[in-house]
Amino acid sequence: MLSGEIKEYFLTIFLSLITIFDLISYVLYILLIIFLIKKLYKKENETLSGFHTLIVFNAILDILFITEEYISYRIPQFGIFSNFYQNIFSNILISGICYIYSLCHVNFIFLSGITITFNRYYAIKYPMKYKYFWRGWKLLILMIWPSFIVIPFFIKYYSVSVQYVKDYTGRQSVIVLDSNSNNAIWQFTSCIHCISLAINGILTIFLIRLLKINLKDTTFQNKSFKVDLLMTKYAIIYFLLFGFVVIVEIPMTIASNLEYFEIANDLLTLTVLCQSSVVFFPLYGLFILSKEIRVNFFEFIDSTKVFNFIIPKFCVVEQNRALRRNTILQSHKAIK
Q: Is the pLDDT of residue 310 over 50?
A: no
**Contact yes or no for 287/24 (Cβ under 8 A):** no
pLDDT recorded at residue 146:
94
In order of 200, 245, 298, 324, 332, the CA distances from 153 in angstroms are 22, 20, 40, 54, 61
Minimum mean pLDDT among 56-65, 77-86, 178-187, 232-241: which range? 232-241
Average pLDDT, integer, range 54-68 = 89
Q: Is the pLDDT of residue 334 over 60?
A: no
Same domain? 181 vs 319: no
Nearest to 100 by CA among 182, 166, 165: 182
The fraction of the chain above a pLDDT of 70, given in percent, is 82
pLDDT digits (tens, 9 = 90+) for 146-172: 999 999 999 999 999 999 988 877 788
Distance, in Å, from the CA atom of 263 to the CA atom of 244, rounded to the nearest integer, reads: 18
Same domain? 144 vs 280: yes
Same domain? 253 vs 270: yes
Same domain? 260 vs 334: no
pLDDT digits (tens, 9 = 90+) for 90-135: 889 999 999 999 999 999 999 998 998 898 888 888 878 888 888 8
Backbone phi and psi for residue 84, each to the nearest 5 degrees, phi listed first: -65, -50
Q: Is the pLDDT of residue 227 over 50?
A: yes
Distance, in Å, from the CA atom of 87 to the CA atom of 68, rounded to the nearest integer, reads: 19
Cβ partners under 8 Å of residue 299, min gap 6:
319, 322
Same domain? 66 vs 55: yes
Average pLDDT, integer, range 244-273 = 80
Same domain? 123 vs 189: yes
123: left (phi over 0), alpha (psi -120 to 50) or beta: alpha
pLDDT digits (tens, 9 = 90+) for 12-52: 888 889 999 999 889 888 888 888 888 777 766 665 677 77
Q: Is the dihedral of CA 283, 287, 293, 299 positive or negative?
A: positive
Q: Is the pLDDT of residue 309 over 60?
A: no
Residue 35, CB-side half-sphere exposure with 13 Å CA sphere: 24
pLDDT recorded at residue 132:
83
Same domain? 74 vs 13: yes
Residue 229 belongs to a domain with what CATH number? 1.20.1070.10
Same domain? 294 vs 281: no
pLDDT recorded at residue 222:
61
Q: Is the pLDDT of residue 302 over 90?
A: no
Same domain? 295 vs 312: yes
In angstroms, how far is CA 16 from the centroid of its own chain?
Answer: 20
Give the dihedral of Cα atoms 180, 181, 187, 190; nearest 10 deg: -150
Q: What is the mean pLDDT of the chain?
A: 81
Q: Is the pLDDT of residue 249 over 90?
A: no
Q: How many domains does the chain have?
A: 2
Same domain? 157 vs 275: yes
Expressed as residue numbers, the domain containing 113 is 2-289
- Banded pLDDT at 306 (limits 50, 70, 90): very low
Same domain? 197 vs 273: yes
- The most confident of the ranges 169-173, 204-208, 220-224 is 204-208
Buried b (16+ CB within 10 A) or exposed e, 186-221: bebbbebbeebbebbeebbeebeeebeebeeeeebe
Distance, in Å, from the CA atom of 12 to the CA atom of 87, rounded to the nearest integer, reads: 23
- Banded pLDDT at 2 (limits 50, 70, 90): very low
Higher pLDDT, 28 or 299: 28
Same domain? 36 vs 49: yes
Minimum mean pLDDT among 111-125, 234-248, 251-265: which range? 251-265
Average pLDDT, integer, range 254-274 = 79
Q: Is the pLDDT of residue 191 over 80?
A: yes
